[in-house]
Amino acid sequence: MPLPRPLLALVAASTILLLPLLTPAMALEPAKGPVVLTITGDIEDTNRPPSQGKQDLFFAYHDRSFTAAAEFDRAMLESLGMQSIDVEVATLIEPTTLEGPWLSDVLKAVGGENKDITVLALDGFASEISAADLESYDWLLAIKQDGRYLGLGQRGPTWLVYQRRDGQPLTEQDELRWPWAAFLIEIK
């Protein structure tokens, strides 16, 4: 016996309303190339399933696990819009041009803006950056230096830098706040 029309409409409407709750948020396209950045924590849009200790040895080595994450390859980061900033600090041999998307655009792509973050480097160095600090500077997630992709040993795969809005020259203290060889951002 078929369901009465009003009951059928109620079932259909309920299913449509509940479907987002039953389906994990996987709004980002999967990475097609080698992953250079993973974002975990308080995010809305993902493209990666939970970490698996034996399969994700590097995350396990750094004592990190997650239920879902967003992975980015270089092309995905470039698609967020490439920006460039010129950097001159005493620790660099000469002035350099860094290119990549604004960090704010990366965080917006995963629904993780306006929150504190931790940036983890390949060597285990972790840099805590507050939402207020993220708002105070123009942060760039650099993937290129002087037109070439950052590689391992060259501050890659990503280097998080900023330019000062007050027009003051960059100092060694500024450069000390820039996590390089970054591969993971955790959003709190």
For CA atoms 100, 102, 105, 107, the dihedral sign is: positive
pLDDT of residue 16: 47
List the Cα angle 166/130/149 in 5-degree steps: 75
pLDDT of residue 167: 80
Q: What is the pTM of this model?
A: 0.83
Residues of the chain with pLDDT under 50: 3, 8-25
Residues contacting 166, CB < 8 A, separation 6+: none
Q: Which two tokens stand for residue 152?
A: 């391992």
pLDDT of residue 2: 56
Residue with tokens 């285990």: 124
Break the chain into its structural domains and give their ranges: 25-187
pLDDT of residue 95: 87
pLDDT of residue 1: 52
Residue with tokens 């929150």: 115
pLDDT of residue 17: 45
pLDDT of residue 161: 93
pLDDT of residue 4: 57
**Beta strand pairing call for 35-41 and 180-187:** parallel
DSSP-based helix, strand, coil % in the chain, nearest 5: 25, 30, 45
CATH superfamily of domain region 25-187:
Oxidoreductase, molybdopterin-binding domain (3.90.420.10)
pLDDT of residue 26: 56
How far is Cα 175 from Cα 51, in angstroms, rounded to an integer? 32
pLDDT of residue 23: 41
